[in-house]
Amino acid sequence: MSDPGNLLVILSDEHTAAALGAAVADVQVHTPYLDRLAARGVRFTNAYTPSPICVPARAAFATGRHVHDIRLWDNAMPYVGDPRGWGHALQDKGIRVESIGKLHYRDDEDDTGFDAQHVPMHVANGHGMVFGSIRRLEDRVLQRDTRMLGDYIGPGDSPYTQYDAAVTDLTREWLAARAQEARQDPWCLYVGLVAPHFPLIVPQAFLDLYPEGSLPPIKLHPRDGYQQHPWVHLESLAFVGDEGMRDEAERQMARRVYYALCSYLDHNIGCILDALEATGLDRNTTVIYSSDHGDNVGARGYWGKGNFYEESVTVPLIVAGPRLPRGSVCRTPVSLIDISETIIDHFDAPLAGERPGRSLYRILAEADDPSRGVFSEYHAVGAVSGAFMVRQDGWKLIHYQGFEPELFDLNTDPGEFNDRAHDPACADRLAALYEVLYGICDPAEVDAQAFADQEALIEGYGGREAALQIGSRGATPPPSR
C-alpha cells in the first residue's frame, strides 16, 4: 500500500479466540481494550494457528510457511532464520524492524530478521523441550512427576506476569522515543506478551473480575460421560493435567485464573495502546493483535493446547488502522500465516519463495469467503503420530495418522459436540475435506519425515539418555531484564 505508515504487531501466548469480550462467547470475558481495538478495526472471527504449540506456530508465523515445509516440528526445533521471513523482507526494504518480548526462537544471535531484540524470550538454553521430540508410543517420555499447570494456582505474581509488565513498560518507552525523533520514517515493531500462558497465577484485581461460581459448567468433561478421542487421550498422558487437580475448587480456580490472565493481558495491551495515542503515533500506525494458539481451559478434560478443537486451535485476530474499516468483522477463515503475508504487503516488501498465505488486506477487499480452506498440523510433545486439521465451508476435518478421524459441522455444531466422521450422510463432505488435505500434504509422508527429523535430533545429542539431560521439561523461563 502507498504511504503505509507504521505497523505494531502484538502476539500473545495461549489466548483462545472465544476469550474476548467482543466475541460474545459462553464466558463474559473482560477485555475492554481489545474490544475497543476491535471497534475501530476489523475482527477476524475464524482465525487459526498453523500448529497448536508455541515454537512451530511461531516459526510458521515468522516464515509464512507450513510447519511441514520448514520442518520445525516441535518445541525443540526453534526458528534460526532459515528460511528467510517477513523480518528479512522488511530489512531488505530498509524498514526499521525491532522486537520487544517473547519470540521463542533459538537465541538472539541468529539472524531472524530484527534490527534489534529487546528482552527477548527464546527457548531454554537454545535447545527447548528436547524430551518432547521422543514421541513413539513405545519409547516416549511421560512427564508424570510434575503438574503441567504448576504446583500453585491462584492469585499472586509470577515471573511471567512480571515479564509482561516489563515488556509493556519497555514498549511504552520505545514508542515515546520514536515520537521524539525528528525523522519519522515508517517502522515495524513486534511485541510478544506471555499471558495467558500458564502458570495460572494472576494479580488479585484481575481474578476479582471472575467471582467464584460465575463461570458456566465445564464442557464435555469425562466425569459427565464424554469419551476422549484415543489419539488425544494418549497425547494428554504426556503431562499431568486435569487429573492432577486437587479438587473441584482448584479446577474452577484454574478456569477463573485463565480468564483473569486474559484480562491482565488486555490491561497491558491497553497500556501500549494508550501510549500509542499519547504520542500521536496512532494516527499513522496500524495495529495487528493475535496469539500463537489457544487453550482448552478444561474442556473435554484437557488443559493447554496440542489438539484441534476450537478452544486450542483458534486465536483472536484484530487489525485496526487509519485506512481500514471500523467496527467490522470478517468471517473468511485465516491463519497466522496470513498475518506474515500482511506484514510484507503492508510495506510492499518482496520475499522470494512460494508461500500459502494471503494478505489480510487483500482478503478484506473481497466478500467473506467461507469456502477458503485453512490448515493446521501437530507433531510435538505427546503426539504418538502426526495430526492434521482442515477447515472449509464451516466444516472441520481432524485427521490423526493411524487413528480414526473426527468431522464437525461448525455451522450447526460450533461447540463440536457431535462427531460426524462415520455419518453416511457426511461421506461426501468427508471425502471433499480429505481432498483438500491431500492437496496440501500427504499425511503419511509428513508423519514419517517428522519422526525421522526428531530421531536425528535425538541422535545428534548423543542418544536418548544424553538428550534427556538437555533442554527444558516445562514452560520456558523468562529472561532477566
Hey, which residues does 387 pair with through a beta bridge?
378, 400
Q: What is the pLDDT of residue 481?
A: 58
In percent, the amount of the chain with pLDDT more than 90 equals 95
Confidence at 474, pLDDT banded by 50, 70, 90: confident
Structural domains of the chain, ranges and CATH numbers in brackets: 6-467 (3.40.720.10)
Beta bridge partners of 209: none
For the cut 60, the answer to whether the pLDDT of residue 1 exceeds it is no
Nearest to 133 by CA among 94, 83, 77, 189: 77
Task: Name the band, by pLDDT with cuts 50, 70 and 90, for residue 328.
Answer: very high
Band of pLDDT at residue 3, cut at 50, 70 and 90: confident
pTM of the prediction? 0.98
Work out the percent of the chain whose per-residue pLDDT is above 70.
99
Sequence-distant (≥ 6) Cβ neighbours of residue 276 within 8 angstroms: 8, 175, 282, 285, 287
Strands in 379-472 per DSSP E: 387-392, 395-400, 406-409
**How does pLDDT run across 336-383, given as a tens digit for each residue?**
999 999 999 999 999 999 999 999 999 999 999 999 999 999 999 999
List, for residues 192-223, the tens digit of each pLDDT value.
999 999 999 999 999 999 999 999 999 999 99
Give the integer Cα–Cα distance in Å for 115 and 8: 15
CA angle 138, 139, 144 (to 5 degrees): 100
In terms of Cα–Cα distance, which of 86, 76, 70 is closest to 55?
76
pLDDT tens for each residue of 60-116: 999 999 999 999 999 999 999 999 999 999 999 999 999 999 999 999 999 999 999
The one-character DSSP state at 306 is -
pLDDT at 141: 87
The pLDDT tens digits for 386-439 are: 999 999 999 999 999 999 999 999 999 999 999 999 999 999 999 999 999 999
Mean per-residue pLDDT of the chain: 96
